[in-house]
Every structure is written in structure tokens, then in C-alpha cells.
Structure 1
Amino acid sequence: MKGSDHMYFGSKGWYVKELKKLGIRTYEGKKLESYRTHVLSSLLERMKRASA
């Protein structure tokens, strides 16, 4: 799926894309891509709550 623009809702790639839309590229000094899906999910949830 690498290089594909087709992201499935809730997939790791989707979370990375959504976080990057918010201007987040790293978390705790590591690239988003190095985290597992559940970590990205909770990070996105926290960011959405913080901006609400």
C-alpha cells in the first residue's frame, strides 16, 4: 500500500495523514510512522479535544 493515496478510515496511514493535516509530524521526538495504530488513534483524539 506504500505510495498509494487510498487510505482506509482508521488505518495507520489514515491516522498519520490526519495528524499531518494538523501540523503534527513527530511525537516525543519520533516520526509518526514509527508508532502503532492505537497510539496514533489516541494522539489524534487528544489533539482534536485540545483544539475543540
Structure 2
Amino acid sequence: MHVGSKGWYVEQLKQKGVRHIEGRKIEKYKAHVLANLLEEKEQ
């Protein structure tokens, strides 16, 4: 998996225990949404 790809963001968020956003699986969201969420979780 390439760093910065949608799959990479999904994997990183799952490692942090995030599997759903507002009741929807994180796989349903686009990469830029996941990137912003990961940035929030790292702060």
C-alpha cells in the first residue's frame, strides 16, 4: 500500500481504533476526508 493512498489512511485510522464516522464505515469516505480525520487524531 502506498503512503497517502485511501487504503493507507483506512489502515492508519483502524490502528487508532477509528472504524466509523457518524455511523458510516470509514471505507465509504474519500481519501481527503480520511486524511483530515487522521490529522485531527494525531494532534
Per the normalisation by structure 2, the TM-score is 0.97
Unaligned runs of 5+ in 2: none
Q: Deviations over 1:17-39 (max 9, x none)?
A: 00000001001110000000000
| Residues matched between the structures, number | 43
**Which secondary structure does the structure 2 equivalent of 1:14 belong to?**
helix
C-alpha distance in 1, partners of 2:39/2:10?
Answer: 13
**Structure with the larger helix share:** 2
Q: In the alignment, does 2:6 pair up with 1:19?
A: no
Structure 1 stretches of 4+ moved >2 Å: none
Larger Rg: 1
Q: Whose RCO is larger (CA < 8 A, sep 6+)? A: 2
Q: Kindly report the root-mean-square deviation, in angstroms, between the aligned alpha carbons of the 2 structures.
A: 0.4
Structure 1's unaligned 5+ residue stretches are: 1-6
